[in-house]
Structure 1
Amino acid sequence: MTQTSPTLVPSVVKGTKAVFKWVLGAIVGVIAVIVFLIWPAISNSPVDYADIQDHFKYGSIGSEEVNGVPYWIWKVLPELFPDKLPDKGYTSLGFIQEPGKDLPIGFSQRRVFINRVGLNCAVCHTGTLRETPNSDRQIKTAMPANVVNLQGYIKFLSEVAIDPRFTANRMLPEIEKISGGINPIEKLVYRFIAIPQTRDALINQRSRLSFIYQQPDWGPGRVDTFNPYKAIQFHFPMDKLREDELIGTSDFPSVWNQKQRKDMELHWDGNNDSVDERNKSAALGAGVTPTTIDIDRIQRVADWLWTLPPPKYPYQVNQTLAATGETLFANNCASCHAFGGKYTGKVVPIQEIGTDPHRLNSFTYQTLSNQNTLYAGYPWRFNHFRKTNGYANAPLDGIWLRGPYLHNGSVPTLRDLLEKPENRPKEFYRGYDVIDREKVGFVSTVAQENGKQYFKFDTTKPGNSNSGHVYGVELSPAEKDALVEYMKQL
């Protein structure tokens, strides 16, 4: 047997070590290059804004990570499916597009492997107004989103998901056209991961939220708050629910002056007295999950809203008439609707208030028991939710920007609310943002303008009743006018 020369062994070992070191160095170098190149793509990076107004309108609250739509898919959907929108683009659903901004108000962006688009607080709490039909639109943050058709957006995503055009072969050329070209790696990610997974996720969401097709149309400025919770968070069998539980549509509220609402019974039915829990609950409604919620960025918004005052009524007020109205308000309204009032922020039983019961009935004891499991394992686990028997008296700060009125937005103006229910408008139009200076609210008699159709609100449909809240209806017409004149200044 031939033996290896002992003089050769050290040379072989030395050469092997050199090769090993070279290979190891090369691997480390390649890894370093890969990490350097793709780290921005795999890191969790929200787009931040220094200005608090911009942060409120466009900043992330954590909704993109699980429920966000990949950026280029979101951008291309209106181009590929224009037949599924009322008109061109997302603005046809009432979303507010500011000049020079990439996304409409209420949409945020975060990079989680790829850029994703989600919703934030402003989508439900930013609105517009015009002084006249020919005036420029003014954007008011923290007011109810009076022109946004959120149900329309949900239905749009649901419909495109089952359309045979939702394929990589159809979508990528459109993405290339509007983007000017994406890099080859990103193109592969979109073709084999982002597009098919997004379609699957939207089909799943469509199935869970199919109950919205059984509801009367919400219309702009309204949302069903808790039924989507049941379907998405808790997997309730929505097809088994009673009609009076399945319809919980109500108006978006304003969110200014939060410090003065501390310890009040919040939400329309007063089911929670914690501002902090209310904020985190609302974040879930925007698509956040208990594991993706961005506590710091939500807190930044909450700190700003804590002392944010409502916009002041900018038009002339008849001060002589308002002085009479102030006395009427003190005698008829202040105990329930002024800060410091004995019953302000307290729940009035449904038998007394007499307004539409559907929103109250939609929040059940079963919903409550599930609601208080949310954020389990975190210091902020919910424990303030409760079931009530009516609706909470809300303060009327900035009431001039909060029309239509009642919890379900079934009465177009304050002046109409002071009439007996049988004398209030049975039908009117929502989504028109020209201010009604006389009656207070928004002009509600315009069916269409420049080809845009506005939403006809029918008070005979389930959840839309304009009954109840008969306080002040016995005042004289002159007294009602004076009361409305005073409330313009609240």
Structure 2
Amino acid sequence: MKLPKIKLKIWHGFLLLILLFIIPPLFIMLAQIWEVSDSDPDRGAITVRQDVFGDSAGKIVYLDQNWKPEQSLWFYTTTQGSNLLPYDFFLVLEQAGKPELFRSDENINRYRYLPQKKTSSNPDALPVGFVKDNYLSKNYVGFTCAACHTGQINFKGTGMRIDGGPASADMAGFLKGLTDAMVAVRDKPDVQKRFVQAVIKLGAYSNEADVITDIKTYTLRLTSYNIINHSPVDYGYARLDAFGRIYNRTLEHLLNRQQIEEVLGNILTEDEVKTALAGIGQDISSADRDKIIERVATSAKNIVKLRQELFIKADAPVSYPFLWDIAQHDYVQWNGLGANGGLGPLGRNTGEVIGVFGSLDWHESKRFSVTSLISGQGWTKKVIEFDSSINTQNLRRIENQLTELQSPLWPQEILGKLDQTRIKRGEKLFANYCVSCHAEIDRSSSQRRVVAHMSKLEEVGTDPTMANNSIKYEGYSGILRNQYVGAGVGDVLLDKKAPIAALLTKATLGVVTTPDADKSFIRRWSEWLFNIIKAFFSNEIKDSNKHGNYNPDTTMTPYSSLQAYKGRSLNGIWATGPYLHNGSVPTLYDLLLPATCPSDQKDAECRPEKFLVGSREFDVEKVGLKSTGYDGFTFDTRLNGNRNTGHEYGTKPAKEPGDLPVLTKEQRLDLLEYLKNQ
């Protein structure tokens, strides 16, 4: 019996729907299940002899954090869309001033990234968190989450790798050294000759002219990036102004032809502006930005002028957050910027990739667009195409794997047995002094949740620079002008200049809701649909109100709540020094002391005004990293952004009824022992 034509058309349409949007996602899911894994039992770790900081790790161990070797290695080597430098460039690049490879284990370790041996998922022995990425048929070296969120602690020759722990990395120093190496290639004929020959030998480039063109392009990109993000406060090791750099990367890529002409008109002559924009259309691509910067950057002075006109100060370095329980949080980031419900994790991680050299090629067009509808731009008229290298599929998968990560337990067989008597006394002190902001959780429970306790700046008293920067800065809206972004208390209209928090929110939403333009049509749309549905419905965290004592957002001040800092559960806190959001206190013992010593008490203990960072050697007594007695980076807490004030609970005499008394030294040690056990 034949089906009626109308039913036949419906049936055909149904089959087409299955072919386009059901079967491809199933193949994607099966491909991920069958993905070849790297199960090297050492997880790629290599030992390091005594280094420039006096550290050594003749043995590397992993603590039990509920990840198998293949999960750690997958986390280290899964690309997220970061395009720092052409891949072959990184493989053969020499250090500035000497012929040793820039990526040598010794040099990588000096910047406090973690060297790795060759494994099946890492055939070129890249450091932890460095991977090969491909965008528009070109290979790059880029960063993954693991570069900033994998730690190592050494104790008497044993190195303990901490998955999801804060890295000790000096990213700013690394990028400065990388730039110096590229400048040497560009400017020194003998270095350039060796470099070009080595690159061509690897096969990605077929001729010398193309290599030299890219040498100039990427040297300029790195140079301008460093100038734009220059901070009067040196970051040193174990921290970075990630927000400032993400914001600046976003602002750089939002400008359209009209607005960049206006910006340049404020710093250049009319003739210089015409020269800078010659041949540039309304859409500003990555290649166009390179041309403009090359024409503007006739001197470093001009780039400085551009920085002052267009960008914000990246002068609020913070510690790299630790990632265990991150997927179980209601709000993330030091100031609670990121709501973790729904698609929040995808947006947060998209912003992170923008900050670590994701390629962005956004442009305007007029057409029908589902993406435009979802991101609030309407069915047609002007729409923004958010084409980029950012791999939202892998971002979703990385976030999903983090749900299984657990905090590390104090390894008594390495660091010494814990005093159970002190722990019991410390537990009572924790209940009185700490638990109101730092709730206790079961680290291994699949039902655990972390409610961030937000404390406004006036209450917590810690350095305000990072929190203040997040609400005081505005930037040119460029291609996003006249669009709307939700802010929790209503929509914010993006004017010529808009709050950077609003611009970042809108930009990341655009990326998340745009299929990957670097893939075929069917694969692009099927993967996009699969990832959006999977990310939204697999996330057990739902949007909720913030907890704590903070200034609430209002229609007049929609970002007031960001002027606060987060208190979270302290499981694994022993492995995350230095402390406070900006890393201004070297050990947990120091954190239990007042910021300054009372003038009338000669023998009083207080937090160090200056200390050293860079060593990975663990201080068992004070719980933190070694901060004296070696040639490291001097952390000066007197500088703005570096203040070690605040969070002085239990360190000062009670002033009002109900205030807790000052902790004695024995009580501090009891509390410290309890924190070791978390």
C-alpha contact (below 8 Å) 1:222/1:250 kept by paired residues = yes
Is the counterpart of residue 324 in structure 1 residue 425 in structure 2? Answer: yes
Q: Once the 2 structures are TM-superposed, how far is the Cα of residue 182 of structure 1 from its aligned partner?
A: 3.2
CA separation of 1:83 and 1:469: change in aligned 2, threshold 3 A: farther
The CA deviation string for residues 175-225 of structure 1, in whole angstroms up to 9 with x for no partner, is: 656x89434xx4425x22244224323313422441443422101110101
1:303 matched to 2:324? The reply is no
Task: Name the counterpart of 2:569.
Answer: 395
CA change 1:487–1:195 in 2 (3 A) is farther
Deviation of 1:111 (Å): 4.0
User: Given the alignment of the two structures, is residue 489 of structure 1 paired with residue 677 of structure 2, yes or no?
Assistant: yes
Structure 1 CA distance, aligned partners of 2:392 and 2:176? 29
Q: Tell whether 2:118 aligns with 1:100.
A: yes
Q: Distance in 2 between matches of 1:405 and 1:106?
A: 23
Q: How does 1:348-387 map to 2 (within 5 A)?
A: 348-364=455-471, 366-377=499-510, 380=513, 386-387=559-560
Provide the residue aligned with 1:4 in structure 2: none
Partners of 1:266 and 1:231 lie apart in 2 by 21
* TM-aligned CA deviation for residue 379 of structure 1: 5.5
Query: Residue in 2 aligned with 1:253?
Result: 321
- Larger deviation: 248-257 or 152-161? 152-161
Q: How does 1:40-439 map to 2 (within 5 A)?
A: 49-50=37-38, 51-63=70-82, 67-79=83-95, 81-82=97-98, 89-100=107-118, 102-112=125-135, 113-132=137-156, 135-146=157-168, 148-163=169-184, 165=186, 170-171=191-192, 173-174=194-195, 176=197, 181-183=201-203, 186-189=204-207, 191-235=208-252, 238-240=307-309, 246-261=314-329, 263=330, 265-274=331-340, 276=345, 277-289=347-359, 291-315=388-412, 316-339=417-440, 344-364=451-471, 366-377=499-510, 380=513, 386-387=559-560, 388-422=562-596, 423-439=606-622
Structure 1 residues 429, 241: closer, same or farther in 2, change over 3 A? farther
Counterpart position of 1:7: none
Instruction: Normalising by structure 1, report the TM-score.
Output: 0.79
Evaluate the alpha carbon distance shift between residue 332 and residue 228 of structure 1 in structure 2; reply closer, same or farther with a 3 A threshold: same
Q: Does 1:463 align with 2:487?
A: no
Instruction: Report the secondary structure of 2:151's partner residue.
Output: strand
Mapped contact 1:326–1:483 kept (Cα < 8 A): yes
The Cα shift of 1:77 comes to: 2.2
Give 1:119 shift: 0.6
Say if 2:236 and 2:613, in contact at 8 Å, map to a contact too. yes
The answer as to whether partners of 2:250 and 2:504 remain within 8 angstroms in 1 is no
Specify the code of the residue in structure 2 equivalent to 1:271. L
- On the 8 A contact 1:336/1:343 being kept in 2, the answer is no
Query: Structure 1 residues 295 and 376, CA, compared in 2 at 3 Å: closer, same or farther?
Result: closer
SS of equivalent residue, structure 2 residue 139: strand
DSSP-derived class of the 2:176 partner:
helix
- 1:101-151, CA deviations, whole angstroms, 9 ceiling, x for partnerless residues? 51011101134544321111011101111112xx032322210002x1101
Q: How far apart, in 2, do the equivalents of 1:152 and 1:379 lie?
A: 31
For residues 77-122 of structure 1, give each alpha carbon's deviation from its aligned partner in whole angstroms, at most 9, with x where no partner exists: 2345549989953332111102335101110113454432111101
1:398/1:78 CA distance change after superposition, 3 Å: farther
Count of equivalent residues: 426
> 1:49-85 CA distances to partner (integer Å, 9 max, x unpaired)?
552211211221111xxx3312221122234554998
Q: Are 1:478 and 2:663 matched, yes or no?
A: no
Q: Per-residue deviation at 1:153?
A: 1.5
Q: Distance in 2 between matches of 1:458 and 1:83?
A: 34
Match of 1:11 in 2: none
Offset of residue 238 of structure 1: 3.6
Q: Distance in 2 between matches of 1:168 and 1:350?
A: 54
Q: Give the TM-score normalised by the residue count of structure 2.
A: 0.58
Deviations 1:230-255 (A, max 9, x none): 32211395425999x54111000100
- Distance in 1 of aligned mates of 2:395 and 2:151: 20
Q: What residue identity is the alignment partner of 2:110?
A: S
| Amino acid in structure 2 at the alignment position of 1:480 | R
Runs of at least 5 residues in structure 1 that lack an aligned partner in the other structure: 1-46, 449-453
Q: What residue is the counterpart of 2:373 in the other structure?
A: none
Which residue of 2 is the match for residue 442 of structure 1? 625
Q: Write the deviation string for residues 399-436 of structure 1: whole angstroms up to 9, x where unpaired.
A: 01110000000000111011010120011111211111
Q: How far did 1:390 drift?
A: 1.4
**CA distance change for structure 1 residues 415 and 309 in 2, over 3 Å: closer, same or farther?**
same
The change in CA–CA distance for 1:200 and 1:282 in structure 2 (over 3 A counts) is same
Q: Tell me the SS of whatever aligns to 1:373.
A: helix
Amino acid at match of 1:192: A
CA RMSD of aligned residues (A): 3.2
The question of whether the paired residues in 2 share the 8 Å contact of 1:48 and 1:60 is answered with no
- Partners of 2:311 and 2:193 lie apart in 1 by 43
CA 1:379/1:137 → structure 2, altered by over 3 Å: closer, same or farther?
Answer: closer
Of all paired residues, the percent bearing the same amino acid is 28
State the distance in 1 between where 2:77 and 2:418 align: 35
Aligned partners of 2:196 and 2:211 also within 8 Å: no
CA distance in 2, matches of 1:405, 1:111: 37
- Aligned partner of residue 338 in structure 2, secondary structure: coil
Q: Is the 8 Å Cα contact of residues 258 and 307 (structure 1) preserved in structure 2?
A: no
1:236-289 per-residue CA deviation (whole Å, 9 max, x = no partner) reads 95425999x54111000100122431x2x3111111222513233223222235
Structure 2 distance, partners of 1:299, 1:484, is 37
Shift of 1:324: 0.3
Letter in 2 for 1:203: L
Cα gap change, 1:73 to 1:238, in 2 (>3 Å)? same
Give 3-state SS (helix, strand or coil) of 2:635's partner: strand
**Aligned partner letter, 2:506:** T
Deviations 1:313-354 (A, max 9, x none): 102110110110011101110111124799951321101111
**Are residues 373 and 342 of structure 1, via their aligned partners in 2, closer, same or farther at CA, if it must alter by over 3 Å?**
closer
- Secondary structure, in 3 states, of the residue corresponding to 1:456? strand
Aligned counterparts of 2:195 and 2:221: Cα–Cα separation in 1: 24
3-state SS, counterpart of residue 105 of structure 1: coil
The separation in 1 between residues aligned to 2:72 and 2:332, in whole angstroms, is 24
